[in-house]
């Protein structure tokens, strides 16, 4: 008996989906919560990929990085429902979990830091919680960029939706560049190589 679900999938062997999380609209474009969008845009600019096609509730762009076919994804569902878009793309293209990279902000990491993990919980991030809930899996790579957090002075929601302070811009720009470099390394040399280099090495690009 033919399974109907197969009729609505498009095989794309080896496709790497790189999803940066954020909120759509100019109001949020430079907010801390949009660091995923910002990083994907930087990756697209570096590799001449245009993110302009609206599909599966996301803006997407397709191209090649390090010889690998990639799809850059910016979900347009708002942060807390990021999983709706990511799930649709994963299901439609039959994407392996190890080929789903998710980039997002993390209030539990120091401002401007970068941590890469193969799998794990969502922590306090609602967008990741929604992705894991709708996929029913958490065994996919994630690239977390630290945005710090002043929980005592500013409510968390207000903090993540606010822009970066002037004194943080240097560190956050470097973090974005390092995250793009790390993704390139993961694509060319594997995730382990990226983790070894970028989870430990804290030097800024200009220091290398």
- Asked, for residue 6, whether it belongs to a domain, the answer is no
- Asked, for residue 141, whether it belongs to a domain, the answer is yes
Angle of helix 169-189 relative to helix 35-47, nearest 10 degrees, comes to: 60
Better pLDDT: 150 or 174? 174
Residue 130's domain spans which residues? 11-207
Are the CB atoms for 31 and 161 separated by under 8 Å? yes
Q: Give the pairing type, strands 114-117 and 58-65.
A: unpaired
Are the CB atoms for 182 and 192 separated by under 8 Å? no
Strands (E), 11-141: 16-20, 53-55, 58-65, 68-75, 100-106, 114-117
- Asked, for residue 5, whether it belongs to a domain, the answer is no
How far apart (Å, rounded) are the C-alpha atoms in residues 20 and 193? Answer: 21
Tell me which long-range contacts 155-159 makes (C-beta under 8 A, separation of at least 24).
156/107, 156/124, 159/32, 159/107
- Asked, for residue 105, whether it belongs to a domain, the answer is yes
- Asked, for residue 1, whether it belongs to a domain, the answer is no
What is the pTM (predicted TM-score) of this model? Answer: 0.90
pLDDT in tens, 82-108: 999 999 999 999 999 999 999 999 999
Catalytic residues: 33
- Asked, for residue 66, whether it belongs to a domain, the answer is yes
Total tally of structural domains belonging to the chain: 1
Nearest residue to 135 via CA among 186, 100, 187: 100
pLDDT in tens, 153-178: 888 889 999 999 999 999 999 999 99
What CATH code is carried by the domain that includes residue 78?
Answer: 3.40.50.1470
- Asked, for residue 4, whether it belongs to a domain, the answer is no
């Amino acid at each position: 008996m033919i399974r109907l679900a197969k009729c609505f999938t498009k095989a794309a062997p080896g496709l790497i989906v790189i999803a940066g999380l954020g909120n759509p609209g100019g109001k949020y474009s430079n907010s801390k919560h949009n660091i995923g969008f910002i990083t994907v845009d930087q990756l697209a600019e570096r590799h001449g990929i245009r993110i302009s096609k609206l599909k599966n509730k996301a803006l997407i762009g397709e191209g090649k990085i390090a010889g690998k076919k990639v799809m850059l994804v910016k979900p347009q569902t708002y942060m807390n429902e990021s999983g709706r878009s990511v799930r649709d793309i994963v299901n439609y293209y039959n994407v392996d979990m190890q080929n789903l990279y998710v980039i997002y902000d993390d209030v539990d990491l120091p401002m401007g830091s970068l941590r890469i993990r193969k799998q794990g919980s969502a922590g306090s991030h609602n967008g990741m919680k929604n992705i894991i809930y709708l996929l029913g899996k958490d065994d996919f790579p994630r690239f977390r960029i630290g945005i710090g957090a002043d929980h005592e002075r500013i409510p968390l929601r207000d903090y993540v939706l606010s822009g970066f302070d002037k004194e943080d811009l240097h560190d956050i720009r470097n973090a974005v560049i390092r995250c793009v470099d790390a993704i390139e390394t993961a694509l060319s040399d594997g995730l382990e190589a990226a983790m070894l280099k970028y989870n430990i090495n804290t030097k800024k690009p200009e220091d290398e």
